Structure 1
Amino acid sequence: RQRYQHKLLLEGKQSSMTTSRIKALEDIGFIWDSHEAAWEDRLRELLDYKKETGNCLVPSTYPGNPQLATWVKCQRRQYKLYWEGRPSNMTAERIMELEQHGFEWELRSSSFAGKKKTKDNDEQNTVIEDCGEFELFMNLLTDLPEGEDDDKLPLDLL
């Protein structure tokens, strides 16, 4: 009820929420966006996993934290939906945040058979053996309405 009233207030609609009620709720640690808070919690768990293992490659069946394994799988799925232009909870900000920590979107068993991992100067580089992925990328660019959805592309692609 509090979140709904807060949303109404932000939308400029009639609401029983007041600034004093907002302050009182925030003073006791009320979280307005529970979905974002849950995402941030899982991100912290991923970073803890990275500290322990040196990477973000959480196994799909990880007994140490099955919820984290499910979350990681969900992030990859949301990323795919995002790039397909379908409804997704993924955002450019989340993509950048995950990539900043070394999150890998495609794994060796991915559907992109044209990718092969190689070791070069102690860094992982992706070698594209065919142009299938490049074609997919170009199709995404040409399908975007001019100037309208530029925010859907990660900044390193602009």
Structure 2
Amino acid sequence: DARNKSLGQWVSQQRVSYTRHTLNSDRIQQLDSIGFVWDPREVSWNGSFYQLCAFKTRHGHCNVSQYGPQYKSLSRWVGQQRVLYERNALNSNYIQKMNSIGFVWDP
């Protein structure tokens, strides 16, 4: 519907302006106050990271690949993180988070 499309375009523009540092601080504060998501990819990454934390809590380690099909998606994500790390293409904040839970980069 047209309203959803307009809202989507507006949200996209806010994100672009924020990234370019052209969004005024009042608008940033207003959007922050309602939990606006500036980078949806970060939300997705954090969701997978929290799944990994839950896995570690349950199994005592982060070696997801040795478990069954119920962890297929998480195992694939862990593999992607290792590849990005090897290529020096993984965000340093993400590396810190992974290290903080004892993640093994080269099992």
Indicate the TM-score class for this superposition, using the shorter chain for normalisation.
Answer: 0.7 to 0.9
1:71-100 residue CA offsets vs partner (Å, 9 max, x unmatched) = 100000000110xxxxx2x12222122112
The one-letter amino acid of 2:93's match is E
SS for the counterpart of 1:59 is: helix
Distance 1:54 1:9, change over 3 A: closer
1:30-75 residue CA offsets vs partner (Å, 9 max, x unmatched) = 3111111111111110010001100000016742232211110000
- Structure with higher helix content: 2
How many residue pairs align between the two structures?
98
Mark the runs of 5 or more structure 2 residues left unpaired by the alignment.
Answer: 1-8
Alignment identity in percent?
26
Q: Which of 58, 74, 77 lines up with 2:80 in the alignment?
A: 74
Q: 1:101, 1:31 → 2: CA distance?
A: 25
Q: 1:58, 1:9 → 2: CA distance?
A: 36
The question of whether the paired residues in 1 share the 8 Å contact of 2:15 and 2:39 is answered with no
Mark the runs of 5 or more structure 1 residues left unpaired by the alignment.
Answer: 83-87, 108-158
The one-letter amino acid of 2:20's match is E
Higher relative contact order (CA 8 A, sep 6+): 2
Query: What is the root-mean-square deviation of aligned Cα atoms in Å?
Result: 2.6
Q: 1:42, 1:26 → 2: CA distance?
A: 23
Q: 1:9, 1:34 → 2: CA distance?
A: 13
Counterpart check, 1:50 vs 2:59: no
Q: Residue in 1 aligned with 2:16? A: 7
* TM-score calculated relative to the size of structure 2: 0.73
Q: 1:12, 1:29 → 2: CA distance?
A: 19
The question of whether the paired residues in 2 share the 8 Å contact of 1:46 and 1:68 is answered with yes
- Larger gyration radius, structure 1 or structure 2: 1
* TM-score calculated relative to the size of structure 1: 0.52
- Structure with higher strand content: 1
The question of whether the paired residues in 1 share the 8 Å contact of 2:64 and 2:71 is answered with no
